[in-house]
């Protein structure tokens, strides 16, 4: 049995004062305890999240990190810094970072390995563009990303990684993959893990769907066999939506 995991991705939203109010609202919610839940916040809000969420079962994390522990890397944050504030997750390889900040699979792979070495759960995002989907190349694209991003992971615990399948055409567009298409791709990813690693690993690893998941469609998506949770954009910015997402089974 895999514990469902729903994590908000605030992206570049929420000033520290806005973040403080929303985090204070979140800790007051009555949330389903059987769902693992968390929020990945902008770097400037991390310390606030760490302080406000410390006595709640809402986990938190960053939206990016560099793979080195410290040094001359202006503007970056490190796994050691995330460890110091007890961050649980780091989102890696989000398509917005791949596209706007030129992050390639080699860099993402170093970050995934470093997160695991520092006991931070990497939420690794993979997914195809609209052109690739239209050319029926979604499996080819996702397989290539998985091969490159998970390279050298043997010897570490692959089942700690959360994989987020996020079709790029469904991100911030309001379009959602149909529950069947999303489940097919999550099944494809699970099968890849089975073949590249082991059957037990494939049974344990959690695969999220991301891309305009919201209160309206969460039930249908999470009812699918291979979808173990969601990485949530816009709908994680409102306490009421977050509550409905987490409490979708109630
Ligand atoms: C979205 O839902 O738009 C996302 O990109 C979640 O990461």
Which pLDDT tens digit goes with each residue over 69-106? Answer: 999 999 999 999 999 999 999 999 999 999 999 999 99
Q: How far apart are CA 174 and CA 37, in angstroms?
A: 22
pTM for the full predicted model: 0.97
pLDDT digits (tens, 9 = 90+) for 192-215: 999 999 999 999 999 999 998 999
To the question of whether residue 212 is assigned a binding role by annotation, the answer is yes
- Provide the pLDDT for residue 43: 98
Q: Give nearest CA residue, ligand 1 atom 6.
A: 233
Q: How confident is the model at residue 1 (pLDDT cuts 50, 70, 90)?
A: confident
234 is in an annotated binding site: yes
Residue 84 token pair: 């110091």
Class assignment of domain 5-247?
alpha beta
Q: Residue 56 is encoded by which pair of tokens?
A: 């709640």
Instruction: Check the CA dihedral 87-91-96-101 and report its sign.
Output: positive
Q: What does the DSSP assignment read for 57-81?
A: SEEEEES---SSSSSS-TT---HHH
Per-residue confidence band for 177, with pLDDT thresholds at 50, 70 and 90: confident
Strand partners, 230: 6, 209
Most ligand 1 atoms within 8 A of CB, residue of 10, 11, 173 to mutate: 11
Instruction: Return d(Cα 174, Cα 120) in angstroms, integer.
Output: 30
In this prediction, residue 212 carries a pLDDT of: 86
The ipTM is: 0.97
pLDDT at 181: 94
Burial class (CB in 10 A: 0-12, 13-18, 19+), 152: exposed
């Amino acid at each position: 049995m895999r514990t469902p995991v729903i994590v908000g991705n605030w992206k570049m939203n929420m000033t520290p004062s806005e973040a403080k109010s929303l985090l204070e609202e979140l800790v007051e919610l009555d949330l389903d305890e059987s769902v693992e839940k968390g929020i990945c916040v902008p770097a400037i809000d991390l310390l606030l999240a760490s302080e406000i969420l410390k006595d709640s079962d809402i986990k938190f994390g960053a939206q990016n990190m560099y793979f080195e522990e410290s040094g001359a890397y202006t503007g970056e944050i490190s796994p050691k810094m995330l460890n110091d504030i007890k961050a649980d997750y780091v989102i890696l390889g989000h398509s917005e970072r791949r596209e706007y900040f030129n992050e390639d699979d080699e860099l993402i792979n170093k970050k995934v390995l470093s997160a695991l070495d520092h006991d931070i759960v990497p939420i690794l995002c993979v997914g195809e563009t609209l052109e690739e989907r239209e050319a029926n190349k979604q499996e080819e694209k996702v397989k290539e990303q998985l091969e490159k991003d998970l390279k050298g992971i043997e010897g570490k615990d692959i089942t700690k990684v959360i994989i987020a399948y996020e079709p790029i055409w469904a991100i911030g567009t309001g379009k959602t993959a149909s529950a069947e298409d999303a489940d097919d791709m999550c099944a494809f990813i699970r099968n890849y893990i089975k073949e590249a690693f082991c059957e037990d690993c494939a049974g344990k690893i959690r695969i999220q769907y991301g891309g305009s998941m919201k209160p309206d469609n969460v039930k249908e998506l999470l009812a699918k066999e291979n979808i173990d949770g969601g990485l949530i954009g816009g709908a994680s910015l409102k306490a009421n939506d977050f509550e409905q997402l987490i409490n979708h089974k109630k």
